[in-house]
Amino acid sequence: MTSPENPRLSREDVAHVADLARLALTDDELDAFTGQLADVLDHAADLDALDLDDVPPMANPFPLVNVLRADEPGNDDVRAEVLAAAPSVEDGRFRVPPVLGEAP
Amino acid sequence: MSDQALIPGWEVVIGLEVHAELATVTKMFSSALNRFGGEPNTNIDPVSLGLPGSLPVLNEKAVELAIRVGLALECVIQPSVFSRKNYFYPDMPKDFQISQYDLPINGVGSLELPDGRRIGIERAHLEEDTGKSTHVGGGGRIHEAGHSLIDYNRSGVPLIEIVSAPDMRCAEDARAYVSELRAILVAIGASDGKMEEGSMRVDCNISVRREGTAGLGTRCEVKNINSLRSLGRAIEYEARRQVDLIESGDKVEQQTRHWNEDDGRTHKLRSKEEAYDYRYFPEPDLVPVEPSDEWIAEIRAALPMLPRERRRRLADAAGVEPSDTALTVERGMDDLAVDTIAAGADAARVLVHIANNLADGVGELTAAPFAALVAMETGGDLTAAQARSVLADLVASGGDPATHASTHGFEAMDTSELEALVDRFIAEHPDDWAGFVGGDDKERKKKAGFFVGQVMKATRGQADGRIVNELLARRSAEA
């Protein structure tokens, strides 16, 4: 359901996106962000005024393609440092709370 | 497509998504080693850990291997863009996977099965692998785990994901597709293709429809298939489950399901309603990949012979159908077969020896002695059984077939010696002989077997059964 003020974006859309981003929003925050996000979309929609039919979509603003590196090993030995910085480590592995469900 | 319907009245529609780890030295976007399975978290760096401020740089070799795969599958090689696929899981530390979405490096292509049928390829794109989670407690079961341990050695390993069209119709088709795909990946050096070790992973999309209908049924995606055998079992189970649902008046729900090897069933992981919303968008830290025609031509020129080309080459040399050469090519013995046939050996005998007597490898066997052995056999100097023993010697220690034959005492038996033996056994067993001469076809066959057996026993298997049979026929005509 889109809000009467902003046909682009409903409060439910914002709640859904917040949920996907693991953000816990209060009702007040949902109201505030629905308005703000809709403003952002409205701003981007200004582009609709232009005739862009012949312009291919850009994946990147830089005039560059094929930035590649050779398949050669480096020597970033960060193991001790990152394991020491982790909140919990077991057998050289990062220990995390139980994972619910399989990876998508 | 298949002769045998799995479930009468129903057609099963199968499409496969195969992930294969590319055989690079380093990871897809950083210079950490592409090596895992050993000591945890040894091949990691800021990029594979997704540390803030780290930036990916694409590995040229990964692109080259992806193009090799595309060429081998006759795909359109096209300009491509990387995207972020967003979801949360602890084995993916930056909370998105870099993949290719709407613009994959390889577009449509096709794969030719050994029997000549073609399975469509929809795309083959590049993406990075995730780390590996181990669930501790609860007997390793994911929902009961006390905690999980993460090893990021595999994080950022380059993968190619090859998506087939829904062109397969039974478990056998799917197995044939996966084994051919694996053979191709290994032949071109793109991947080691080891399903059991997880370097090649197969997800299977399955739906069913009533025979003779054209639309596609609601599909389920089955994950966690770790061998060709599991692939077949999972398809058969899942197809039967869907047919049972429909026949009992229910509907198939679009789901992702998990194959359980132990109970031989698929289990629901999540439904379409819970499907992940990945919010793909172009990866801002990487620029598009647009391989030049020159680069593609260079990679094409360096491609080794593909399995289908090997089958065709041997088929031409042997004067048989390509499908008859599949086993020889699968065993990697087609070079030997082609060379042996070129050295003058009877092609049919060569293929029979490879099929029946070389299952454990060729060892020291080379084309020239193999051809000499087959010539001795077809020339009547060795029986089939003797040729098998000499072949085993050539495999074990190389050398010359004539030398091995004489070591065994496999001298070609003089026909006059055989004649004497045949005459002796005829005289010793007049009743059996009468049965041979006067009996019906069945009796004649039985008695021929008896006399050949006597001669074989007397010669310790060195006699040529064919010649003994000829002698028996001749004596019978004279009687």
pLDDT per residue over A7-33, tens digit each? Answer: 678 999 999 999 888 899 999 999 999
Residue A74 lies in a domain: no
Residue of B187, B159, B164 whose CA lies nearest to B174: B164
- For residue B85, count other CB atoms closer than 10 A to its CB: 21
Residue B1, pLDDT above cutoff 60:
no
ipTM of this predicted structure: 0.88
Q: Are B42 and A70 in contact (CB < 8 Å)?
A: no
To test the contact with chain A by mutation, choose from B147, B266, B289 the residue with the greatest count of A C-beta atoms within 10 A, namely B147
Q: What is the pLDDT of residue B75?
A: 98
Do B285 and B363 have their domain in common? no
If phi > 0 it is left, if psi is from -120 to 50 it is alpha, else beta; for residue B61 that is alpha
Given B86, B276, B284, which is nearest A60 (Cβ)?
B284
- d(CA A93, CA B150) in angstroms, rounded, equals 5
Report the mean per-residue pLDDT for chain A. 87
Between B347-357 and B384-397, two packed helices, what is the crossing angle to 10 degrees? 70
- d(CA B224, CA B436) in angstroms, rounded, equals 62
Which residues from B are below 8 Å from A63, CB to CB? none
As a whole-number percent, the residues of chain A with pLDDT over 90 amount to 59
The whole domain housing A26 covers 11-49
Q: What is the pLDDT of residue B320?
A: 95
Residue B242, pLDDT above cutoff 90:
yes
- The CATH number of residue A42's host domain is 1.10.20
Contacts of B70 (CB under 8 A, 6+ apart): B76, B77, B105, B106, B109, B124
Q: Where a domain ends, among B251, B283, B300?
A: B300
B245 near B251, Cβ under 8 Å?
yes
Which residues from B are below 8 Å from A99, CB to CB? 89-90, 133, 135, 142, 145, 148
- For residue B144, count other CB atoms closer than 10 A to its CB: 11
Q: Where a domain ends, among B362, B391, B407?
A: B407
Do B332 and B433 have their domain in common? no
Residue A27 lies in a domain: yes
How many distinct structural domains can be found in chain A? 1
- The band of B2, judged by pLDDT with boundaries at 50, 70 and 90, is very low
- Give the residue-averaged pLDDT of B331-359: 96
Residue B36, pLDDT above cutoff 90:
no
Residue of B188, B191, B179, B184 whose CA lies nearest to B307: B184
The whole domain housing B387 covers 307-407
- d(CA B330, CA B334) in angstroms, rounded, equals 8
3-state SS, residue B130: coil
Do B141 and B234 have their domain in common? yes
Residue A2, pLDDT above cutoff 70:
no
- d(CA B102, CA B99) in angstroms, rounded, equals 10
**Tens digit of pLDDT for each residue in B385-440?**
899 999 999 999 999 999 999 898 887 667 778 888 899 999 999 999 999 999 89
Do B269 and B340 have their domain in common? no
B20 near B199, Cβ under 8 Å?
yes
Sign (positive or negative) of CA dihedral B338, B340, B346, B350: negative
Given A66, A90, A102, which is nearest B149 (Cβ)?
A90
Which residues from A are below 8 Å from B49, CB to CB? 78, 82
Which residues from A are below 8 Å from B276, CB to CB? 104
Q: Are B150 and A93 in contact (CB < 8 Å)?
A: yes
B40 near A93, Cβ under 8 Å?
yes
Nearest CA-CA distance, residue A50 and chain B, Å? 22
Q: Where a domain ends, among B300, B328, B356?
A: B300
- The CATH number of residue B427's host domain is 1.10.10
Residue A6, pLDDT above cutoff 60:
no
Do B295 and B276 have their domain in common? yes
Do B55 and B141 have their domain in common? yes
Which residues from B are below 8 Å from A94, CB to CB? 41, 90, 149-150, 152
- The band of A1, judged by pLDDT with boundaries at 50, 70 and 90, is very low
Residue A20 lies in a domain: yes
**Tens digit of pLDDT for each residue in B198-221?**
899 999 999 999 999 999 999 999
| Residue B370 to residues B297, B379, B400, B463, Cα–Cα distance (Å) | 38, 14, 9, 22
Residue B51, pLDDT above cutoff 90:
yes
Residue A34 lies in a domain: yes
